[in-house]
Chains A and B, each alone.
Chain A
Amino acid sequence: MAGADGDDSLYPIAVLIDELRNEDVQLRLNSIKKLSTIALALGVERTRTELLPFLTDTIYDEDEVLLALAEQLGNFTMLVGGPEYVHCLLPPLESLATVEETVVRDKAVESLRKISQEHSPVDLEVHFEPLVKRLASGDWFTSRTSACGLFSVCYPRVSSTVKAEIRQHFRTLCSDDTPMVRRAAASKLGEFAKVLELDYVKSDIISLFTALASDEQDSVRLLAVEACVSIATLLPQEDLETLVMPTLRQAAEDKSWRVRYMVADKFSELQKAVGPEITKNDLVPAFQNLLKDCEAEVRAAAANKVKGKRLNIMLPFIRLIQYTNQHVKSALASVIMGLSTILGKDNTIEHLLPLFLAQLKDECPEVRLNIISNLDCVNEVIGIRQLSQSLLPAIVELAEDAKWRVRLAIIEYMPLLAGQLGVEFFDEKLNTLCMAWLIDHVYAIREAATCNLMKLVEKFGAEWAQNTIVPKVLGMANDPNYLHRMTTLFCINALSEACGQEITTKQMLPVVLKMSNDQVANVRFNVAKSLQKIGPVLDNNALQTEVKPVLEKLASDQDMDVKYFAQEAISVLPLA
């Protein structure tokens, strides 16, 4: 490259390289993210001989820099000269695979898996496989955990002798001293089983699986449940009973609730993996036990999986749950509504409706909320009218709950309910509630209430708004409490767009303009903000003749904030 014009193109790269070591993390991160630019400028030769050795030793950096580096290196093959040289990327990734931060290690492993595909079969045995072995026999468990994720990518592509070595390494890691490594091995067991020949699955994997599933540490045993799903899908049906089921049965009755929780949580996957016959004979009874488990967390996980089970068997248990703890009830409430689509209309009315009604009266607000939030499923099957008689008291009670978070939650479901109950029912029963929230003493509720009004108007249309909502909202402009007067402004902000130009100009604007004389400064500057907000909806005539003079007046207000927001509105609106 010629010296004279060298500086122009080199300078930015020179800065990037220097900033790899800048004290500011952000700049280092920035440079690492542009590593490909640096590599491109250096050329493949210098990238291999200078840049990569430097990067191999930069593992002292902050996690976010290392994470970015690990990710970049996964896409570096072309920059080091193509697949022929891809093995040059192994040393920096190897050192990243030993850092203590799990996310960095996982990313380094991910990149290693990616570039393993770019190795030729020869390179894989000469360069990649030795790296896996080094990691697998490393002194520190961080390197051994990383190795667990690499076996499955190299196994299918190596010779049978190397395959035997890999199997041996995996076996060793499954019985490692540190639980960290056994956990990593257990979590990769399913993945490794998938690439193994079926004979080895039966001879090797099953014994490892059985050992891990009876590990002394619950944290290892519970991961074996996950592996169970993938192993079961690999094996022919006739082998499942002898090879997998004893372990699975044992897991469902494990002493530790965390392991049983895992079985409950993975139930749907397990069911699919073992097929209908075993499900009927084995899993259903096990599942019934999990629903009755002495630990609430397990019952809740099981209750969450009720959907899709054979319901005639489940129903008695679902009824039973009514009498148990709050946490479980609320978990059940969140799924029980989904059952109606499976059961069909008649069964829902006969079996589930009483449950819904009972849960709508539950003492715990969370249970009631979960029922109400899933009403749409029931609506499709039996129509919401069946429920409306019980629904209303429940809604009213939640709407007035002493905890504002509960009130907030029910407000969020209002538009949904309104859509399902229809405009008549709403006007009759719920409209007053929606208005009452506007003057709630908690700001978050008032804010949510205005947002709710907007959604209702979107549903029911501008005409409905003009008749039912707007007069009430505007009436609050004369309220003695300035917070309520401000709520009027917030409602107008939210409603103007949905209501359209006509209503905004004729009904809302005069009220806003009138409030510009309010004695409370907070109201006045909110007038300025409102005008800025509704300005685009108004026609140009109203803007020039009505809005402009008021804003100009506010711009010379004695209050600083009023002045500021008025000036801001003037600069934003097309008033010139």
Chain B
Amino acid sequence: MALRDTSSLHQLKSPKRDLDTQPPDSSMEEESDTRKINNSFLRDHNYATEADIISTVEFNSSGELLATGDKGGRVVVFQREQESKSQSQRRGEYNVYSTFQSHEPEFDYLKSLEIEEKINKIKWLPQQNAAYFLLSTNDKTVKLWKISERDKRPEGYNLKDEDGRIRDPSTITSLRVPVLQPMDLMVEATARRVFSNAHTYHINSISVNSDHQTYISTDDLQVNLWNLEITNRSFNIVDIKPANMEELTEVITSAEFHPQQCHTFAYSSSKGSIRLCDMRQAALCDRHCKYFEEPEDPSTRSFFSEIISSISDVKFSHNGRYLMTRDYLTVKVWDLQMENKPLETYQVHDYLRGKLCSLYENDCIFDKFECVWNGSDSVIMTGSYNNFFRMFDRNTKRDVTLEASRENSKPRAILKPRKVCIGGKRRKDEISVDSLDFSKKILHTTWHPHENIIAVAATNNLYIFQDKVN
């Protein structure tokens, strides 16, 4: 299902706390033939501490679960409400399923370095039994978590009575075997494996292989290959560390496995290039098999060229034919068969080109925006500033800017497209580039694997939007 008319996306849902008091679908209902988007404010704080800032969001492969990680090292998993006939409206509501502390702050005594607990990435594993598994990583350590349900509990002790009082041993005349009784559903998260001590630099991404057996973890200079069952050994498959660190010109910014070919992975660099490696050729993938780079346009060259060309995220399309990369100002789609230039280039916020100097001064120019594909690879989405996020329809070439905020759009209402204007004349509903709030940035977004449901992290708030259902 493609997002044909992005200009009429509707916001459908109220914040959770208001849900029961608000009449379903207010006046917007009349607008037929428009699509709506669901919205829930799942982290409903009036004030945010640093630890509450969401640092990653990720749907699982069925879209039934959504995980977020934050700077405080917590992982919150949301589960989609099961469909009920009476309230088909509420289908799509995501509720908290499990919350757990994935990482704790640590201190590296050898290097005198603090290791933050911030969750850099979460990746779901393909489902293997009734439990769910995910990998979460901070700067140094990847952990494998199991999230499982329990609805029975054993009852009956030999040495204690029903109220927990110790029984006199001399009164024990027969043995009791515990019996399992139903109880309220309990969701448990347990750390199954800890993969540590393999990275000298900060881990920026992890990616699970389609062979369901291995995954890679990537830091600034290395890519390591792990077996999901083995924690004490990993193989270094890419190492770009020069013999002399002063010759360092480039770092790895992100890496991902091909969705189907278990031997192919891509990694992006701070110089704006992407390398595709084939693990069949050799055990060490220092030599790439494809190198994607767009020649620089000398006319636009400036002091900031190198910084803004650094790739902050690389994603294979679901069908495995394309690669999408995000740099500071654009999103590019590359065909795996064409290395010399991108197939498509989309401007995310070109109006910032004139403000690079101040963005450099307030460090925003180093923000790492992520990008995502929709389920059918026809629409791409990425974030911007002022709680804006952008969607580009690859077929119709339409694009839209939307805002994830509580102040400017009502819950359960249709989202209004936003426009940014440059220069003096500002029309109604437009926002001037000078009044953009650069502290409100949308770095992390995720798209449901099959449906038009998106999750957008705006600092400490998580917004879930959905196509209008009816």
Which residues of A pack against B, CB within 8 Å?
Answer: 1, 3, 6-7, 10-11, 13-15, 17-18, 20-21, 41-42, 46, 50-51, 53-54, 57-58, 60, 98-100, 102, 140-143, 178-180, 183, 216-219, 254-258, 294-297
Contact = CB atoms under 8 A, between A and B. Distances in A.
A54 B280 contact: no
B280 A218 contact: yes
Contacts, number: 115
A14 B158 contact: yes
Nearest to A138: B129
Contact of A7 (B129, B172, B279): B172
Interface string B85-103: 0000000000000000000
A11 B212 contact: no
Contacts of B157: 18
B146 interface: yes
Contacts of B152: 57
Contacts of B260: 216
19 contacts: A7-B172, A10-B172, A11-B172, A13-B175, A14-B175, A17-B158, A17-B177, A17-B178, A50-B177, A60-B148, A99-B129, A140-B129, A141-B128, A179-B211, A180-B128, A216-B261, A218-B262, A218-B280, A295-B281
A11 B133 CA distance: 41
B154 A21 contact: yes
Contacts of A99: 129
The 7 A-B residue pairs whose C-beta atoms are closest, nearest first, are A14-B158, A256-B280, A50-B177, A140-B129, A142-B129, A3-B173, A6-B173
A141 B178 CA distance: 31
B180 A57 contact: yes
A180 B213 contact: yes
Nearest to A51: B177
Of B173, B175, B211, B279, most A-chain CB atoms within 10 Å: B175
A140 B152 CA distance: 21
Contacts of A21: 154, 178
A158 B179 CA distance: 36
A15 B159 contact: yes
B210 interface: yes
Contact of B213 (A11, A17, A143, A179): A179
Of B129, B130, B172, B263, most A-chain CB atoms within 10 Å: B129
B283 interface: yes
B169 A17 contact: no
Contacts of B171: 7
A53 B178 CA distance: 10
Contacts of A51: 177
A294 B282 contact: yes
A42 B177 contact: yes
Nearest to B152: A57
B131 interface: yes
Nearest to B126: A178
Contacts of A295: 281-283
Interface string B175-219: 111111000000010001000000000000000001111000000
A50 to B, nearest CB: 4
A42 B178 CA distance: 13
Contacts of B261: 216
Given A6-B173, A141-B128, A143-B129, 12 more contacts: A10-B175, A14-B159, A15-B159, A17-B158, A20-B178, A41-B175, A100-B128, A102-B229, A140-B128, A142-B129, A216-B260, A217-B210
A41 B172 CA distance: 14
A17 B171 CA distance: 16
Contact of A140 (B130, B211, B212, B283): B130
A54 B154 contact: yes
B21 interface: no
Given A142-B129, A257-B281, A10 B173 contact: yes
B337 interface: no
B408 interface: no
B398 interface: no
A143 B130 CA distance: 11
B26 interface: no
A125 to B, nearest CB: 27
Contacts of B154: 21, 54, 58
Contacts of A60: 148, 150, 188
A258 B262 CA distance: 12
B169 A7 contact: yes
A256 B159 contact: no
A54 B280 CA distance: 48
A257 B282 contact: yes
Contacts of B133: 100
B302 interface: no
Given A50-B177, A100-B133, A255 B280 contact: yes
A7 B170 contact: yes
B174 interface: yes
A225 to B, nearest CB: 15
A72 to B, nearest CB: 16
Contacts of A102: 229
A1 B172 CA distance: 12
Of B146, B158, B210, B229, most A-chain CB atoms within 10 Å: B158
B127 interface: yes
Given A102-B229, A179-B262, A295-B282, A10 B150 contact: no
Nearest to B280: A256
B373 to A, nearest CB: 22
Interface string B123-155: 000111111010000000000001010101010
A407 B158 CA distance: 62
Nearest to A13: B175
A218 B263 contact: yes
B435 to A, nearest CB: 52
Given A178-B212, A217-B262, A100 B131 contact: yes
A216 B279 CA distance: 13
Nearest to A140: B129
Nearest to A102: B229
Contacts of B160: 18
A273 B118 CA distance: 55
A503 B214 CA distance: 61
A15 B159 CA distance: 7
Interface in B254-313: 260-263, 279-283
Contacts of B262: 179, 216-219
Contacts of B263: 218, 256
B233 to A, nearest CB: 15
A37 to B, nearest CB: 12
Contact of B177 (A10, A46, A143, A297): A46
A254 B262 CA distance: 15
A140 B130 CA distance: 7
B158 A219 contact: no
A1 to B, nearest CB: 8
Nearest to A21: B154
Contacts of B148: 60
A217 B279 CA distance: 12
B158 to A, nearest CB: 4
Nearest to B178: A54
Nearest to A62: B190
A54 B180 contact: yes
B280 A257 contact: yes
Contacts of B174: 6, 10
Nearest to A11: B169
Contacts of A140: 127-130
A14 B133 CA distance: 37
Nearest to A56: B180
A41 B158 CA distance: 14
A183 B210 CA distance: 13
Contacts of A41: 175
Contacts of A183: 213
A142 B128 contact: yes
A100 B158 contact: no
B172 A258 contact: no
A294 B172 CA distance: 73
